[in-house]
Structures are given as structure tokens and as C-alpha cells.
Structure 1
Amino acid sequence: MFGALNFLNRTALVLMNTGLSVSLSIILYYGAFQGVPKSMDEAATLDGAPAFRAFVDVILPAVNPMTGTVIILNAMKLWNDYLLPSLVVNKNGMYTIPLKMYMFFGETNSEWELALAGLVLSMVPIIILFLLLQKQVMSSVTEGAIK
């Protein structure tokens, strides 16, 4: 269907990954928003804040730990995805890292040294992202355990 609409490569990946990632994000945020006391929203409304301003200034910072968790889970899913890009990417410069790693192996050759070096290097951005957001992830995990 995407091929008939000429939506292959970047457009198809963005649309499909957005559709697949939104469901998990909604479930996680739903649980986080349920944990925010209604009194916080009521207090902002009593102080004269419009609904959007109350959401941005009061409610959103309360679910900040879940935002870090959602970012890391979605980034790991997107970074490690092999199946979806292998179906919709057909342009040589658009291949993702898992697709490029597969190129090291053919019918007659297997370049294990290059593949393993590439895999180690491909883990570095996700590890850095986790280290940057580790505090939010740990606080969202412990927050669910306390309630």
C-alpha cells in the first residue's frame, strides 16, 4: 500500500513508527496521569491559570519521570528495529543500522569482526541516552512501587 502511494523510505518509516509507538506511550502516560492528584489541577485553576497553562506548568512536570521512560523505550524500539525498515526502505542511503549490520553477511562471506565492531558502536548512543535519563527512569519505577 505504501509502495502504491509512493510513501516508501523515510515517510513510511515515520508514519508506521509513530503509529506503533503511540499506543505504548498512551498506556504509560495514562497510568502516570492517573497518579497526579486532582487537587493540583484544581489549585492551578483557582489561581487563575487557564487549562492549557495549568497542564503545562503543573501537570506535565508531575509526570516528567514517565517522559524519560517513554523516551528511552521508544528510542530503543526505533534504534533496534529491523523488520519494519527491511520492509519499507529500498534506497541505499536510507538503511538503518540493523539493516547495515545484516549486509556484513552473505552467502559466501561472514565478516564477524566488522559486524561485532559495528554492533558495539551502535550501542553507544542508546547507552548515552539512558545515562542522561537514568534519574527519570529510576524515579518513575520507584514511584509506581510506593503507591
Structure 2
Amino acid sequence: MEYEISTNPGESRKPLGQIVSGGELSRIMLAIKAILADKDQIDTLIFDEIDTGISGRTAQKVSEKMAVIGQHRQVLCITHLPQIAAMADTHFEIEKHVEGTETITQIHPLEGEESVRELARLLGGAQITPAVLGNAREMKELAQQQKNTRLK
């Protein structure tokens, strides 16, 4: 079986495997899972690098679709985008560091202000100013409002 897709209006359909990037493939899978979320038997969906090549409004739409799926299934997502991380019900930080000759990976749950600070880090990089913190806090609040109203 081969899936064909047209990624832009006016373009002919082409084999999916020949024209989409890894990030696009993840987003196509997300779209399919959003449609099937309440019909299939898969309990947990894992998305890694679903944010490749997207930003802004597209990232927001991806986060909204994952939140819809999350109403029926467990969704695990590794992301570098604050728009997606802000929508999480549970937020974790994955940290890697080297000890001797080993790379150690640690996972820390983030709650409240810790989550806001991590969103600020994603937004502002090395310099986390009061304005960036305010933006992160607002992003988290807007995501919660979105989940409480539009996504129900």
C-alpha cells in the first residue's frame, strides 16, 4: 500500500515517503490520530520531533490537536517549542550531562513556576528577563483557557 499526498494546492499527489520530511510525517500522523483518537485501541501515542520545521500559529495548531487526542489517549511529546510545551497537562524537563565518560539523562517534573521558567527558557534562550517570564506565564494561562473552553 502506498499513500499519496498533495502538500500544496495545485500540486499533484505524490508518494508520501518521497515528498515529506520527518516533521511533516509526524504532523500527518498527528492529523490521522486526531481523527481516529476515539476509535482506535492505542492507549499511548509518542511524538518526537513533531515540532521540526514549524513555529508560531502552526505550532499552536499542533498543540491543540495533541490536546484533543489527549482527551482520549495518553500523549507523550518531546518538543522544543513553547507553544506545544505550554499545552501540556504534565510538563517534564529532560536534562543530559556528562559524568566521566558517561552521558546521564535525568527527567524532572515541572510544576507551577518551574514550568513557567522552562517555557521562558524556550522563548528567550540564555537571557530570561521579566518580560520573557511574563510572556511564558501568559502563554501557560492562555493554553489552560484553551483547554478549558475550546477543546471541550
Shorter-chain TM-score: what band? under 0.3
Larger radius of gyration: 1
Higher RCO structure (Cα 8 Å, ≥6 apart) = 1
Structure-2-length-normalised TM-score: 0.25
Higher strand share: 2
